[in-house]
Structure 1
Amino acid sequence: MSKVICPKCDHAIDFDAKGYKMGQALVFECEHCRKSFTIRIGENEDDIQTEDFGHVVVIENTFCYKQVIPLCEGDNMLGRYNKGTVISHPIETSDPSMDRRHCIINVKKDYSGSLTYTIRDNQSVTGTFVMNRILGNRERLRIEDGAIITLGATTLILHTPEGEE
């Protein structure tokens, strides 16, 4: 069984994807809000080999539950999830002090092939804190495995592939 999320009301719809071919379009109608929408059957994410660029763990608090957000190479925009806001790595939280586009973590390989992580604030209202130090305007800070990042009232911990070995 597979799940599809309604783009209007975020209601989960279960369906059996085994009888369909790759690239085939399917039309669904949400029984909750009656929205009709189309999806295309694509490659299974489990079959795609991706390189591990690390992840951030969102610590559970009053506003949100624990979440693990995988990072990708390049800029990773982090912020509060809000329907209609385009963001690469949304955090599902009700924290009003976190901006929808709060900060950016950049992941890139250096000349030796090892990964470097840089964080910068995205002109957020409350600021971005790394190890209890607020980032200045346009400041970029290199961070490493175990770095504690605070966005509003929400705390994140960076985990790199090298740190997990």
Structure 2
Amino acid sequence: MARGEGLDSADRRLLAALAADGRAKLSALAQTTGMCVSTVQNRVRKLEEAGVIAGYRALVDPAAVGRPISAFVEIYAEPDDEDGVPEILEGIEEVTACWSVAGEATHLVKISVADAQALDHVLSRIRAAVRTRTRITMVLRTHFERSAAATTPDQ
């Protein structure tokens, strides 16, 4: 199956269950989805092999590890520099995600830091490394985040 193509409603239920609890046992997934354990096991394996399930990881609360402040940074790189931005930013530990975007900005970056001084320091490092202007939006409160699997409609 191509990534995302050929997913039926059972696959989508399974993906939603795994997005909610990536450590769920096969028996719990079977009960949640209404499939037998062997079917769940086969479907999970096929979804992993097809790249639909890209991996499993722990969701770590940034505040619990001393980084309670999150911000989104729009980067406005020069056309000659655009392609190198992700590689440069990957070396900055506080950068937790980087996307190429459409619109005036060329990239959108999420960062997590300890305090305003750390935010200023990271922004200075980004500006120096990419030689660009930035625009910052600081997160005041996260109301929710969800996995794509939880929002994928049945087809």
Relative to the length of structure 2, the TM-score reads: 0.32
The structure whose residues are more often strand, as a share, is 1
Relative to the length of structure 1, the TM-score reads: 0.31
- Asked which structure has the greater CA Rg, the reply is 2
Q: Which has the higher contact order (CA 8 A, sep 6+)?
A: 2
The structure whose residues are more often helix, as a share, is 2
